[in-house]
A and B are shown apart, each in its own frame.
Chain A
């Protein structure tokens, strides 16, 4: 599948069957917890792979509760793994200090720091995947509005989300029409560079004009509400507090190690 097709597929996959998953928790509460989790994850030192692995339970718990397909998520996260792998690829060569020994093989600091980096990448990407699964783009917009982000921006964001797939499909159709008449080309030929995207741009501008008219005719005056979420105050606040404390606890205390010690003593 080409990039356009994959993007369309991804949007469909992300929205599939999301109805009724909102629950009684305010989307902002989920956003805050996800951010807090990401901060906790990236704040681990670069050799602290043991401590970092203690952040795994959060993902497992949410993944199971929400019934996430591991395969879909892995597909989404894979590029992040590659990116962080490249970013850390030099570390094993530059930092050769042996840190652990497993039999004959030494594990160097560079290897550990690379692994830590990749693990951080996976954890953060997985947590935003879960967040999107729970609240979706509308939830993000709702949260932004609650945070008093200017309405102009939130409105524009909602429209980007709405027209994303319309324009992706339009671009895909154009791409297909092009390919059918230009077999064997890897991309758009240099002669058509300007016209191809230019046409799409002109049509998008015309569409923006019609959208604006359609909004005007239905009483638009500078903002619109977007999807409304039902939520309960008590549940949302306790959600933030409990998860916030749990994440802080897993960040500050080497829970795995302490449990291990405890088990060994028993």
Chain B
């Protein structure tokens, strides 16, 4: 599910960087509040662990194919959502830089699609809600499967939105979503089962490692104290998450307005069934804002007649410039190496 740089425009990339950055700032603040120096090495080593564990193939009985582990959910179930989120960011950054899984620009998108949903929706909402009255194996299995499936559905949907908003594919929204969602439903189920198996093992071996094993009483107390100061209540957090999701959706559709065939379709469908004229107007306005601030020149080249005419000079010029660059670079390298040898 890693998105490559080429699939996003700067506007989409920037939007998602901002969203992920906000979530990261929140997580770091939360981790600092815990004031536990032990947490940082654990985040580091567990990040590396998830990276390695995700490379292990699990055979799926009866299919001959193999599945992998859901990192966000697993990390959060052990470290808690905030520390898990930080570890996942680290993993994604390393994957993007050292393994070309995803790209530097698309990192914001990837953090959001994979880490954010896994840690905050999967763990903070689903895991926590299910484990409210104590942990059991059955509950772990239910939370893992449900969490992974929800996480992957949300992630896949975000990938669809972000790609369409960037306007790199001609696929209409419905077709794209129809491809992405069912596949990820199946993947989510498998990942959920694998994650459940691992967490059940941990529950048997060392239950104290699981998030919330000591009960939410401790957390609740802390949260109660913090609640008095007006920060980080559970309800507040969920509300903030919803608000963040809404803002992201809004910003994405803003960016998407440069791509008429993708989101327009869904807007039309929505407009048919409800009284969303106001939203329609907002959409129009967003479009205008987008037009004036667009970083991407839209269809400037398509159908331009001069294009074919300039192709020839483009190729000639390109060859000349490239030759010049290559020649100069080799010369530069030659003299640099000679200078190094003389030293």
Residues on A facing B (Cβ under 8 Å): 2-4, 7, 10-11, 14, 34-35, 38-39, 41-48, 50-51, 53-54, 56-57, 60-61, 64-65, 67, 76-77, 79-80, 83-84, 87-88, 90-91, 94-95, 97, 99-101, 109-110, 113, 117-118, 120-121, 124-125, 128-129, 131-132, 137, 140, 150, 152-153, 155-164, 166-168, 170-171, 175, 185-190, 193-202, 204-205, 207-209, 211-212, 215-216, 220-222, 254-264
Contact = CB atoms under 8 A, between A and B. Distances in A.
Given A101-B308, A197-B69, 11 more contacts: A42-B6, A87-B4, A117-B6, A193-B198, A201-B78, A211-B41, A222-B37, A254-B310, A259-B321, A261-B313, A264-B316
A50 B310 contact: yes
Contacts of A45: 296-301
Contacts of A185: 59
A256 B40 contact: no
Contacts, number: 357
Nearest to A95: B170
A117 B201 contact: no
Nearest 4 A-B pairs (CB), nearest first? A159-B44, A260-B317, A260-B313, A198-B201
B320 interface: yes
B87 interface: yes
A80 B7 CA distance: 11
B51 A168 contact: yes
Give the interface SS of chain A, mostly helix, strand, loop or mixed: helix
A111 to B, nearest CB: 11
B317 A262 contact: yes
A166 B46 CA distance: 12
A44 B9 CA distance: 9
B58 interface: yes
A160 B94 contact: yes
B105 A42 contact: yes
Given A88-B169, A91-B170, A157-B93, A39 B105 contact: yes
B96 A128 contact: yes
Contacts of B59: 185-190
Q: Interface centre among A101, A159, A212, by most B CB within 10 Å?
A: A159
A159 B163 CA distance: 33
A156 B91 CA distance: 10
